[in-house]
Structure formats: C-alpha cells, structure tokens
Structure 1
C-alpha cells in the first residue's frame, strides 16, 4: 500500500556494524513508505532489525554503524546528508521516538521536569513560565497523577509505567508529525500495557500524527495497527493491511508467527518456529528463512527470493502461500 507522497520514504536501507570479526549486516535492503496519519506496525523476532532500521532513520546509531540507502526522505527532506544543526532542529520537533527502556533513556541525574522542559526550550523557545505550564499540560495528557509534583521527581522515584508516560510526554512535547514507538510496553504489566497503547492510539487520533509501532506482540498489532510490515533477519518479508495479513499471510514466517498465537492454537501445545534468527556468520546463501522453513527446497536454499507484487503481500518468497505452491501452512 504505497502513498504517492508518503511522509516517510525509505529505499534500499542497509545497516552494517563493524565488529572485531568483521561486518555484521543488521538491516538489509529495506523499502518502506509511510503515509501521513498512518499507524504502521513493524513486527518480527528479536534480531530482525526493527529498532536498528528506525534508529538509522533518526540518525541515532553509533559510529560503528555504516548506513547506506538510495533514499531516506521525511516530507521531502533528504535525511541522509543533513548537517548536525539541521538534524537537531528536525529530530525531537517533527520526528520523535519513544525508546524501549525508559529507565536507561532518562537521565538519572536530572528531574523529570528539567528533562521535559529542555525539549520545549530547545525546539520551541518557550520562556520559563510557558515551559512549566506546557510540561504540566503534557503530563496531564499522558495520564500522570499529580503532574506538578511529579515534575520535581527523579526517574528512580517513579514506576516503570510512569517513566514510560514521561517518555511519551517528551516525545509529543513539540507535536511531532511522526512518532516512532519502540516496544513501548516492554516490561510493563498487562494493565499498564493496555493504558499505554490506548494513550498512543488516542494521541494519534487526536493529533493526526503518523505512528510507527515497533513490537513483537501480534496481539498488540491486531488491536492497534492499520498496516503491518514483517521483518526477518534485517529484511522486510511481508507488507499488508492488518486485516489482510491476519486473514491470509503469504510468507511462511508470517504464517508461523500467527500460528503461535494462543487464540489460533488447535492443539494443547503451541506451535513454535525451530532454530534462531541467523547472525553475522550463519546467513544462508538463499532465503534467510530457509533453514527454519518447513517448505524450503533447493531453490530456496540456493537463490535469494524475489519480492512479490502487492497482491501477494510483497512477500519476499519464492513460493507465496496459496499462490504458486500447493502447500499450506496450518494456522
């Protein structure tokens, strides 16, 4: 599902990390269009390159990362060659990110209020009184109890859920057009998870911002997303509207993820995907999923698969399920 003028456009994005043993490719040829106001979910196991691909877009990867891309544009602005000052003006104002671990993302040496007001001072140039009023307003928006008192608290004095709300408040402080939420409910209990997700989707509906949700929880995807991008070993392997993906996955990896959902289980023991995501030195020659795929043949193991057309979910597979192969995946 491609928009003629997407807010975010990525073409052939790859990220290599320099290690003591050589280069490790964490992201491999990602193409992605995200429309203005869209809610996109990026899913996949740990090690699939979900966070790394979005950190590359934000320019937040360390010096050990080598980023290459044919195109990375945000609202027509080329992000690949932005100067430091230009990037700092853009990131945090028009593009923002909620990080996975709030306790490691917030500075333990400064109060919540100081860190929240710093973004307002840097990007909006508000005076001290306006910054204070806006900080209280933001904490109220994210459902923080007694927001004025919380401004004086340090991160260690708040619970994980409260710190996550602070991270969301900082991310939306300048009313960004694009918000990337990197596993925002990790390590939170189920009740708080639901509250955070409701908060994010509510903010998206109220402000019209574009939201990219990075997660490995297919249940969260089913409840929140409009479109789903499935990643595996750094590659995008499927891209469909959420209802279509759940009704008819075309890539065996997507089908295996869905088959592992408890509500879809037909036996007492949940099905699993054997093996692990390939690392730096065990990447297959052909399809990266072939060592774990029950339907892989010599073609899969020896030749890199093509990307199928949108009618087949843009699946990166030689034999999309239900299209060119008689085999079926039990779901």
Structure 2
C-alpha cells in the first residue's frame, strides 16, 4: 500500500491581477521505505506541492486534488485537530532555510522538546534524554551543551542537523526534505545527505528529497519525479532517467551537468520558466524546447505510458540518439 498518494493536485494563489497556478495537476506516490526525488528549476512548484500536502500554505492558496491520502487517511477532509496529530509526528518536513525555520527566541533544545511534548507521552526527563539521543544520531557533538544554545550561536550545517533531529524526533513514517543542502559547503552537503540516507535505512521511513541538484539525485534517490512550471513532466527510476530521459526538459537538465558536457561550452536551457502572464497555450516547455512545433505550441501534451516515463510530451524521446541530439 502506498504511504502517500496524491492525484491531480493543483495549487493557486490569489494575486492582485488574478489567480496564479503554481502547481498544476501533479501526481505523487511514495511507498514505505522509498526515496523519491522531486527535481526541477526554481519556480517548478516542488516546495509548494509538498507544503500543500503538509497543510502549511497561507490562506491565499486554493488547493484542489482528486486524492490526497497519507497511510489511507484523506488529508483533504480531516479536521485541523486530526492533521496536527499527523504533521510533525508521522509526517515531517525539513524546511529549506534552517536559520529562518528555527525560532531565534528559544534554544534548539526547547524547540525539539516542544515537538516531543506535543506528540508523545514522554516525561520531561525522558524528553531530555530523547533530545540527547537525537543530537547524537545527527552527529552534533557535546549534545548536553548544544541543547542550551540558540540558533544564531550555531553554524548553518549544525542548524540543519538540528532541523533533521526535530523532524525525526517522533519517528515519522514519511520525511520530506526540502533542499536540505542549500547554502552549505560541499563537505557538509555530503555529510547531511549521508545522514539522511542512513536514517532512512535504519528506520525504514519514506523519504521525499526536493532538490535541483541532479548529482544528489544520482547518489541518493531510487525514483525521480521531474517538475516544470508546476507540472510533473516525467517520472522514472534513477537508472532509467539517467540512461534514457524521455522528456526534452529532463534531457536538457542532464545535458547541462558538467560531467556530461561533451562540448567546450556547458550547454544551457534558453529562456526562463513561464510565470503567471506568459504561459503558452500548449506545452509549457515549448518556448524553450528545440523539438517544439506548432502542435506543441498550441495543444497541451498528453501524459505518456510508464514505458515512456509518464512523460508529458507530444513527442517523447525514445532512443539515446534522440536524447543526445
């Protein structure tokens, strides 16, 4: 049974000039113990789709979905009280910016103990012991001392470890990590990724990794969902995606990796992700796609079969020759 199932998720925000659709018809499936990576450029709706799942979007957001269930429970219809029992407990999230996600007015130990107080029946002594255990798990030295520090007294890497400790405090069944290595140096990035994948193996939790780094995807994930301009454009296993991407956008992303570059200059994708006022009538990638024709520009593309990576494309790539063209 799928741990998280989302069908046809759309998220729109009210703006001064109308409604802006940030997520458009996205499907997500995560099984217990699976690592799913969601990739795409900034503005692809990666974070917004997961914040909608968590119920953490502001009142200006309008969320619709044909299905949104976690472990068989319908997240669309449960009460706010029932959702609070799930979020932070069975379903947890590591946010993108630890310095802005942690409360600067309280020690990091207090903030983790607060999560444990809310979701567990542990005594004060047991909550403290659990905090020490969590800090040891995420590699924070001298945990007794560190629990008494404020976020500004710790480095970005240490604050990210605190966020991970807080997210796994109640042993979630699904953990969403939103750009967990942003603004960290390369050495710390590797340590954080090793920590997350190690915890995932030890606990058997599902893990959704939101990133724009394809190198991170290759090293950690089992399956990849590619998003563009709020839509999911491809969904494949990691091996299948890197060997034969079926959507031109995925192929262009992979071609832009330095280790794959075959020319003197690194390939780039021209243009930008369409916004509220410049969305094309047909395929959203058509203004930037070298394969696009009038059909692509005028008609929304169909979603292809699983054999073609569920690519949202009129002319999915099928051979290595097409991919490298």
Bin for the TM-score computed over the shorter chain? over 0.9
Out of 99, 108, 113, the position equivalent to 1:112 is 108
Distance in 1 between residues matched to 2:46 and 2:126, nearest whole Å: 37
Distance in 1 between residues matched to 2:304 and 2:275, nearest whole Å: 25
Verify: 1:185 aligned to 2:165, yes or no: no
Which stretches of structure 1, 4 residues or longer, exceed 4 Å deviation after superposition?
Answer: none
CA displacement 1:121-144 (0-9 Å, x = unmatched): 000021110011000000000000
Q: Which residue of 2 is the match for residue 329 of structure 1?
A: 323
Q: Which residue of 1 is the match for residue 298 of structure 2?
A: 302
Q: Which residue of 1 is the match for residue 170 of structure 2?
A: 174
Q: Which residue of 2 is the match for residue 19 of structure 1?
A: 15
Verify: 1:130 aligned to 2:126, yes or no: yes
Verify: 1:47 aligned to 2:31, yes or no: no
SS state at 1:328 partner: helix
Contact 2:245–2:323 (8 Å) recurs in 1: no
Q: Which residue of 1 is the match for residue 150 of structure 2?
A: 154
The offset of 1:44, in angstroms, is: 0.1
CA displacement 1:244-299 (0-9 Å, x = unmatched): 00000000000000000011000121000000000001000000000000010000
Contact 2:36–2:224 (8 Å) recurs in 1: yes
Alignment of 1:275-290 (within 5 A): 275-290=271-286
Verify: 1:234 aligned to 2:230, yes or no: yes
TM-score, structure 2 length as denominator?
0.99
Distance in 2 between residues matched to 1:13 and 1:322, nearest whole Å: 28
Q: Which residue of 2 is the match for residue 311 of structure 1?
A: 307
Out of 46, 53, 63, the position equivalent to 2:59 is 63
Q: Which residue of 1 is the match for residue 217 of structure 2?
A: 221
Gaps of 5+ in 2: none
Alignment of 1:92-107 (within 5 A): 92-107=88-103
Distance in 1 between residues matched to 2:109 and 2:247, nearest whole Å: 46
Count, aligned residues: 325
CA RMSD in angstroms, aligned pairs only: 1.1
Gaps of 5+ in 1: none
SS state at 2:322 partner: coil
Out of 276, 281, 287, the position equivalent to 1:291 is 287
SS state at 1:271 partner: coil
CA displacement 1:12-52 (0-9 Å, x = unmatched): 00000001111000000011211111000000000000000
Verify: 1:204 aligned to 2:196, yes or no: no
Q: Which residue of 2 is the match for residue 91 of structure 1?
A: 87
Distance in 1 between residues matched to 2:88 and 2:27, nearest whole Å: 24
Q: Which residue of 2 is the match for residue 249 of structure 1?
A: 245
Contact 2:244–2:323 (8 Å) recurs in 1: no
Contact 2:176–2:207 (8 Å) recurs in 1: yes
CA displacement 1:80-104 (0-9 Å, x = unmatched): 1221110110101100000000000
Worse overlay, 213-222 or 79-88: 79-88
TM-score, structure 1 length as denominator?
0.97
The offset of 1:329, in angstroms, is: 3.4
Contact 2:119–2:170 (8 Å) recurs in 1: yes
Q: Which residue of 2 is the match for residue 30 of structure 1?
A: 26
Q: Which residue of 2 is the match for residue 75 of structure 1?
A: 71
Distance in 1 between residues matched to 2:49 and 2:119, nearest whole Å: 25
